[in-house]
Structure 1
Amino acid sequence: MTSTVEAPPVSVVSSSYRALSVGLVALVMLVAFEAMAVATAMPVVARELGGMHLYNLAFSATLAASVIATVLGGRWSDVRGPLAPIAVGIAGFVAGLLVAGFAANMEIFVAGRFLQGLGAGLVQVALYVLVARAYPAAMHPRVFSLFSAAWVVPSMVGPAIAGFVVQNFDWRWIFLGVSLIVVPAGLLLWRGTSGRDLDGGNAEPAPGLGRKLVWATLTAVAAALIQYGSALKLGGIPLLAAGLVLLAVALPKLLPAGALRAARGLPSAPVLRGLAYGGLMAAEVLIPLMLISERGLTPTGAGIVLTVGALGWSTGSWIKGRGTISHLTAMRGGAFMIAAGIALISLVLIDSVPLAVAYVAMAISGLGIGALHPTVSVLVLEMSKQGEEGQNTAAVGVGESVFTVVAVAIAGALFTATGETYLMGLAFAFVLAILAAFVAPRFAHMAKAGTLEGTAS
C-alpha cells in the first residue's frame, strides 16, 4: 500500500507541505498553460515559419513523445524515485521551449515540440508518484483536486494571453516566457521535498522495459497517424486506417491483462478514464463549431461555454476532495453527468432552445469529469503496491491519451461522413460516457492492494 501511518495535517498548504504543494501546482499550471496557449499561437507560427504542411505534426509530435515518456517515467519513478525523472523532465521541457522559441523553420519547431512532449510526459507521471510518496493517502483527494484547479486558470486565460502576446509582441515569447518560469517552480518543488523519503522502495528494474518502450513508440506513432489522418478528412483515410491497425497491435502490450475487456479492479482504470475523458473531449471538439455555425455565437462566446465546463471540473474536484461522496458515486455518477451534459447540449441544435442550456450542460459535464478524474488517480495509488505506482499511473495515462485521440478522430469522422451532422458526433461521445458509467463499478470492485500487471476477472 502507498499510504503512511501519520495523521494528515489540516490542509495541503500547511507549513510542512506548503512549498511542495505550491511547487506541484506551479509545474502543473505551466505545463497546462503551454498546452492551452500553443493552440492559439499555432496558426501564426505555421504561417511565419512557412510550415502549414507540418501544422498537425506539431501537435502529433508532442502527443507521441508524451506517450513514450509516460511509459519510461513511470517505471523510472518506481525504481529510482520521482525526483530524477522530474528533474530530467523539466530540463527536457525547457529545452523544447527554447528550441521552439528560437526555431528558424517549422522542422526545428516540431523538434522542439517533441522535446516538450518528452519533458511533460516525464514530469506528469513522476508527479503522481511524488504524491504517493510524499503525502499521506488521506490527503491524496485534496492534492488531486489542486491538480484539477491548476488546469482551470490556464484553460480560462491561456488562449487570451497567447492571443495578446501574438498580436502585440511576438509568438516566440509564449515559449521563451514559460521557460523562464519553469525552473524556479522546479526549485520550489525540490525545496518542498527536502527531508522526505522518496526512494523507489523495493522496486526492481523491469526486465521487459525495453520491449515496452518499443511498444510505446509504436503506440505513439499509431496515435499520431490517427490524429494527423483525421485532420486531413478524406485524404487522411489511409493514415487513419494504418494508425488504427497499428494501435490494435501495440496498445494491448502497454495495458494490463484484461484491460480492454474492463476486467475487475485496476485493469479497468485506463479504460474508465479513457472512455470518460475521451467522450468529453470528442464532444468539446464539436461544441464550439456547433455554437458558432448553428446558433451564431462569436468565438469568444463559444469559448466562454467551454470555460464554464472548466470551472465545473474544478468544482467537482473540490467537492470530491472534501470526502462528501463515495468513490463509486464520484465515478459512476460523474460518467452519467458527462453523458447528461452532452445530451443536454445537443438540444441547443433546436433553435427554440435557449442558449443558456449550453452553459448549464457544460457545467454538468464539468462537474462529472471533475469528480471522476481525480478519483481514478486516488484509487490507482491506493490499489498499487509500493514501487508500482509509476507503472500503474503510466498505464492509465497512456490509455487516457490514446482513447481520447481515437474518440476525437471517430467523432470527427462521423461528423464529416454524415454531411457535418453534429448530432452523430455528439451521440458517439454520449455513448462513450455511458460506457464509462458501466465500467466504473468494475474498477471500484477491488479494495485491496494489487497491481496493473494482474489479471483480476
Structure 2
Amino acid sequence: MSAPHEPAPTAPVPVVSGPAGGGIWTARFIWVTIGAVAMIFLAAMQSLAITTVMPVVVDDLGGAALYAVAFSGTLATSVIGMVVVGAWCDRSGPTLPLTSAVVLFVTGLLVAGSAPSMEVLVVGRLVQGLGIGGETVALYVVVARVYPSHLHGRVFAAFSAAWVVPSLIGPFLAGAVAEFLHWRWVFLGVAVLTALAFTMVALRLWGLPMRAEEPSSSRLALRLVCAVLVAAGALGVSLAGEAGAYAWALVAGSAVLVVAAIRPLLPRRTLRSGRGLPSVILMRGLIAGALFGAEIYVPYLLIADYGFSATWAGLGLTAAAITWAVGAEVQGRIGDRLGNSRIVVGGTALLTSALVVAVATSLWHLHPGILIGGWAFAGAGMGLMYPRLTVLTLAYSTTKNQGFNSAALSISDAVGAATTIAVLGLVFTAVRAGEGSAFAAVFLVAGLLAVIALLPGLRMGHAHEARS
C-alpha cells in the first residue's frame, strides 16, 4: 500500500535561497535556537545517563527481567509518537504537537523518577518514548517553518553538536548523580530542565503564524494502526535474544510485520530506493543501522579483549563524538558547495573505513589505539551525512507534508537501528558459540550495510538544483 500523503513536489523547496539575513544565533532566532538545542541536549543526556544508571535501578527496584524492555519499549513507542505528531503538524502546525510531546516526555520522566517498582518505571519509559519520538519530529517541523532554508544546515549541525557534550560527560555525570544524590534525580532533573528549555521555544512559537496554508488531509487512523504494528515488530526484534532456539524465527516474523506495516508511514517507493526523497529516507535507516549496530561492540571489544575498564572503554567513543560534531559543522558551512554526491561518497567511505579498521583490529588483535583512532572516522562520516539527510528531507517537503516526511525520517532511523542491533546481537551470539571471531563478524556485517547505503545515497538527487 502506498503512503496516504501528497508526493514530493517536482520543484522542491531549495536548500539554498536568498540573502542570509543573519545566522541562527541572531536576535530573530536566538531563543528558539537555544531552547531547541537545549531540548536535544537534554534528550541525549537522558538517553546516555539511563544506560549508565539502569543497573543501579534494577538493584534498587528488582525486576531484572524487564531490563531490556526498559530500553526497547521506549524505542518502540517512539514510532507511535513520530507518526501522530507528524500528522498533527501537517494539519495544524507544530506548536501544539510539540507542547503535547514535551508534556508526555516530562510526564514519563516524572513517573520513572518516582517509580516504586520496575513495572512502573517501564510504564514511565513507554510514555517517554511517545514524547521523545513526537518531540524530535515537531522540532524538525519548527526548523522548517521558523528558519529560512539556507539556515537549515546550520541548525541541524547545532543539533548534532548538542550530542557531543553528553557523549563526553553523560555517563560520568549520571554515575556521580546516582552515587552522591540518587538515581531518581537522573530522571527528575532532566524533567525540570526540559520544561525550562521548552519554555524558551514556546514563548517565541506562540506568537508566530505556524499553521500550514493547505492542511494535510491524510488518513491518520490508518497511519496510527501501522505505527502500532511497526512498534510491535520493532519490540519483537529487540526481544529476539530472549527467544532461545526460536530467536531467528521471531526476527523473521517481526521483520515481515515491520516491512508490511511501515510502507504507509514512508514516502512512496522508499523500500525500492526511488529517486529523491525516498532514497534520502532509506539511506538514513541504513547508515543508522550500520553505525549504531556496530558501535555498541567497540567498548565491548576493548573490555573483553584488551582488559579496559568500563570507564576507559567508554572513552573509546569520545573521539567519534567529537569528529561527528566537526563533520556536522563542515556540512553546515559548506555542504551546498560540496554537493550531495560528494557528501555521500565521502561519508560512507569514512564509515566503511572505520568498520574495516574494526574488523582488522578484532581479527589480528592490533593495538587498541588503532581501533579508537579508526572509529573517529565513523563519527566524521556520520557528521557529514546525518544532518544533510535532514536538510534534504525538508527541502523535498511542503507545508502539507513536512510533518509526515520528518516522521518518516525518524521512523527509518529508529527502525533501522533497532533491527540491525538485534540482528547483529544474534550474529555475535551464533559466531561466538562456534568459536569464530564474533566481533569481526558484526563489524563486517555493519560494513556491508554501509556499502549498501551508497545505492540510495547516489539516488537522492539535489533538491536545490530544481530552481538553479
Select the residue among 232, 241, 255 that pairs with 2:266: 255
Select the residue among 289, 295, 300 that pairs with 2:300: 289
Q: In structure 2, do the counterparts of structure 1 residues 217 and 86 end up closer, same or farther at CA, with 3 Å as the change threshold?
A: same
Distance 1:199 1:254 in 2: 22
**Is 2:79 aligned against 1:67?**
yes
Larger relative contact order (C-alpha < 8 A, sep ≥ 6)? 2
How far is 1:168 from its partner?
2.0
* Counterpart AA for 1:385: T
Distance 1:131 1:393 in 2: 11
State the match for 2:460 in structure 1. 443
Matches within 5 A, 1:28-43: 28-43=40-55
Select the residue among 331, 338, 343 that pairs with 2:351: 338
Distance 1:297 1:364 in 2: 21
Distance 2:231 2:117 in 1: 24
State the match for 1:114 in structure 2. 126
User: Which is worse superposed, 413-422 or 387-396?
Assistant: 413-422
Select the residue among 123, 145, 148 that pairs with 2:135: 123
How far is 1:235 from its partner?
6.2
TM value normalised by structure 1? 0.94
For the 8 Å contact 1:266–1:383, the answer to whether it is kept is: yes
Distance 1:55 1:432 in 2: 28
State the match for 2:405 in structure 1. 392
How far is 1:249 from its partner?
2.1
Distance 2:111 2:417 in 1: 28
State the match for 1:45 in structure 2. 57
How far is 1:42 from its partner?
1.0
Matches within 5 A, 1:183-202: 183-193=195-205, 195-202=207-214
Distance 1:223 1:249 in 2: 12
**Is 2:336 aligned against 1:319?**
no
Select the residue among 217, 233, 250 that pairs with 1:205: 217
Q: Deviations over 1:254-286 (max 9, x none)?
A: 222211121111111221011111101111121
Partner secondary structure for residue 443 of structure 1: coil
How far is 1:242 from its partner?
3.2
User: Which is worse superposed, 358-367 or 21-30?
Assistant: 358-367
Matches within 5 A, 1:33-182: 33-182=45-194
**Is 2:269 aligned against 1:269?**
no
Distance 2:52 2:312 in 1: 16
* Counterpart AA for 2:230: T
**Is 2:382 aligned against 1:369?**
yes
How far is 1:352 from its partner?
6.1
Select the residue among 329, 336, 344 that pairs with 2:342: 329
Q: In structure 2, do the counterparts of structure 1 residues 172 and 107 end up closer, same or farther at CA, with 3 Å as the change threshold?
A: same
Partner secondary structure for residue 227 of structure 2: helix
Q: Deviations over 1:323-378 (max 9, x none)?
A: 15222211232112111111112222255633221222111110000000000000
**Is 2:451 aligned against 1:434?**
yes
For the 8 Å contact 1:336–1:437, the answer to whether it is kept is: no
For the 8 Å contact 1:273–1:400, the answer to whether it is kept is: yes
Distance 1:133 1:242 in 2: 40
For the 8 Å contact 1:226–1:409, the answer to whether it is kept is: yes
For the 8 Å contact 1:212–1:253, the answer to whether it is kept is: yes
* Counterpart AA for 1:429: A
How far is 1:202 from its partner?
0.9
Q: Deviations over 1:179-238 (max 9, x none)?
A: 1111111111123335433212212331x2101110100000100111122366546445
Unmatched 5+ residue regions in structure 1? 450-457
Q: In structure 2, do the counterparts of structure 1 residues 294 and 233 end up closer, same or farther at CA, with 3 Å as the change threshold?
A: farther
Select the residue among 403, 414, 417 that pairs with 1:404: 417
How far is 1:239 from its partner?
3.6
Q: Deviations over 1:21-78 (max 9, x none)?
A: 1011011111111111111111111222121111111112211110001011111111
How far is 1:404 from its partner?
1.1
Q: Deviations over 1:86-121 (max 9, x none)?
A: 111111111101100111111111110011111111
Across the aligned residues of Structure 1 and Structure 2, the Cα RMSD in angstroms comes to 2.0
For the 8 Å contact 1:295–1:351, the answer to whether it is kept is: no
State the match for 1:347 in structure 2. 360
How far is 1:10 from its partner?
3.5
For the 8 Å contact 2:358–2:440, the answer to whether it is kept is: no
How far is 1:294 from its partner?
1.4
